[in-house]
Amino acid sequence: MPTKILVVDDEPAMQQLIRMGFRKPIRKNEYEFFFALNGKEALEVLTATPEVGIILCDINMPVMNGLTFLSQLRESAELRKVIMVTAYGNMENIRAAMNGGAFDFVNKPIDFPDLQITLDKAIEALIQLQEAERTRSQLLSAEQELVLAEQKARQLRELDQVKSRFFTNISHEFRTPLTVIDGMADQLRDEPERWAISGGELIKRNSQRLLRLVGQILDLRKLETGSMTTQLIQANVRGYLKYIFISFQSLAESRGIRLQFEADEQEIWMDIDPDKLMSIASNLISNAIKYSEKGAEVRMKLSKEQEVLQIVVSDTGIGIQAEQLPHIFDRFYQADGSSTRFAEGTGVGLALTHELIRLFGGTIEVASEWGKGSQFTVHLPIRRQATVQDPLQAMSDIWVDKKEEGEEEVGVSVPEAEDHHLPSLLLVEDNPDIIQYLIACVGERYQIQIARDGQEGIDKALELIPDIIISDVMMPRKDGFELCESLKTNESTNHIPIILLTAKADIDAKLTGLGLGADAYLTKPFEKAELLIRLEKLVELRRKLQSRYQSLEAPNPSEHPIIQKQDAFIGAFKQIVENHLDDPMFKVPDLCKEIGMSRPSLHRKVKALTGMSTTHFVQEIRLQKAGILLQSTDYSISEIAYMTGFSTPAYFSKSYKSKYGESPSVKRKA
């Protein structure tokens, strides 16, 4: 189809001029022209022929001029391209036209080759515009279907995110005990007598943890498919639930949490499945303890109303945010899915609890206030049709010797280092079994300090300035990424090598850690040999830094980012000392003020980089400068002593001889 072009000009001769100038395209049916003598006529033409796509319009016309006409086209201007015609050099009109939405302009008298080029550009832009409009129309016509499709897609994305979070969390939950099991198996193989008892206990505890996790997932799958069966007995549910609740006493005490049990009646007889009721109660109690801090209280209260048992498990812990409450019983949902969540989990426990309660025709509700605690209320119908039996005898083998997570929290014993010259290692990890295993791996090679979360790790790193840090990523308060970023951007600690040791094995997490300055990123389960080599190489880097700065010579440039930062620090340190070289009253407190660090932090950093105290390093700089002056100037020894900040020539001579093995006078003669 030809491109339809409207020419708006009050000169009748323009029609003949246009037809002559474009006779070939007209003959080939490429262009079809329409004409109007002013803006008003042009609007009438457009109404009759709305498919006109290009408008060539003069500015100066009677009745309605070109600029007024252009303003009338604003609503439909996006579907057309308007080329304005004006007297040569009339920039005011040109500017007004372009501001009004014109595509381009040409000058009178018209240069047809120039007009052809302008038309070609306008037609190309129009074609693109029309194609876009056709696409938009198609999209608009299918809008309802797209909305539905988008809703389905959003639901699929949300499900995919839930599954992704679940597999990430389940991976973490599997990797952590597998790290302990795999690592302690190696320790038992290499040193069976030393690790026979404690190593076996670690392996047993973590294998049970894996079995519980697998059991929960399988149970949830059975509930989903309707293949879960019940083994009912009739028992005193009050006594059984009290037994389950008290089994968490040691765990609660180890965390400084009080337990309180209440019941309106001494005996409540009803049909129960001991295994499944244990699972329901244990999940609720362990969650209450898990998400409570020291000093909190966890309560279980039983009451009977008509033929319904009410079980209330409440705590004064961290609570659940209001927007998360509707989802906490969803499969694989975690109220806190961040890497700084208060406690580990997979999002299986509450979903399983909810489904088990439904299996018995019961209900569960939750009420919570963020920062103040949560309350879970379970209602179970009371029936008495099964045979009376002791629930502890009726429990299946999987529950024997098991109190869900009601084990006492494992204590961590850090061995006292016999050699105080060993490198210091800060271990930042919230899992006690992992801590114990890492101590087994590296305890004889390092002086170990422990931090149980990211914030404590940052605080201890600033306080101790250790030689090296091993940190988990997923921890309460602050995660390993935040720890890494905080320490690597702090002048006091940016020299400390950091190994991130984590169950987050995806490449994005690894790149994030390395991008924040981590010196190594190892995933659980890890090889002990690899960890030891990484540690050894990073400690070796610290020794190289000490050798680099002890000589006081300007070091060769390095491409290693850690060395570059420390070169800059030592350079700034030396420059401050040299700026006050002749001032014997310039002491370490003054140096701390200028460099912007506390005295303990500066001392520990200088000690780590040079092996010297701050005072000793300052004196080394002064003595080096004195040696240069002795050889390169004619100043007297007394003058040099005062020029390099020594209070007396005698003290200078004594210090110089102590360092170089010869007196300043001998150095001068040489």
pLDDT digits (tens, 9 = 90+) for 255-304: 889 999 999 988 999 999 988 898 899 889 988 988 888 889 999 999 99
As a whole number of angstroms, the distance between CA 325 and CA 335 comes to 8
Q: Report the pLDDT value the prediction gives residue 415, as an integer from 0 to 100.
A: 62
Confidence label for 142 from pLDDT (cuts 50, 70 and 90): low
| pLDDT for 401 | 42
Tell me the average pLDDT across 643-653: 90
Residue among 87, 74, 19 nearest 43 (CA) = 74
The 10 Å CB-count burial string (b at 16+, else e) for 188-213 is: beeeeeebeeebeebbebbeebeebb
| Under 8 Å between Cβ of 581 and 628 | no
Other CB atoms within 10 A of residue 149 CB: 11
pLDDT band for position 305 (50/70/90)?
confident
Please give the pLDDT value at position 187.
Answer: 85
Lowest mean pLDDT among 68-82, 406-420, 606-620, 647-661: 406-420
pLDDT at 311 over 80: yes
Residue 221 has pLDDT above 80, yes or no: no
Buried b (16+ CB within 10 A) or exposed e, 566-604: bbebbeebbebbeebeeebebebeebbeebebeeebbbb
User: In the chain, pLDDT over 90 holds for what percent of residues?
Assistant: 23
pLDDT at 188 over 60: yes
pLDDT at 414: 67
Residues sharing a CB contact under 8 Å with residue 578, sequence separation 6 or more, in sequence order: 621, 625
Query: Using CA atoms, how far apart are residues 466 and 444, in angstroms rounded to an integer?
Result: 16
- pLDDT of res. 577: 92
Q: How confident is the model at residue 408 (pLDDT cuts 50, 70, 90)?
A: very low
The whole-number pLDDT of residue 89 equals 65
What is the tens place of the pLDDT at every residue in 316-330?
988 888 887 887 887
* Of 188-197, 393-402, 411-420, the least confident: 393-402
pLDDT of residue 329: 80
Would you say residue 339 has pLDDT above 70?
Answer: no
pTM: 0.58
pLDDT at 332: 53
Could you tell me the pLDDT band of residue 437, with boundaries at 50, 70 and 90?
Answer: confident
Average pLDDT for the chain: 83
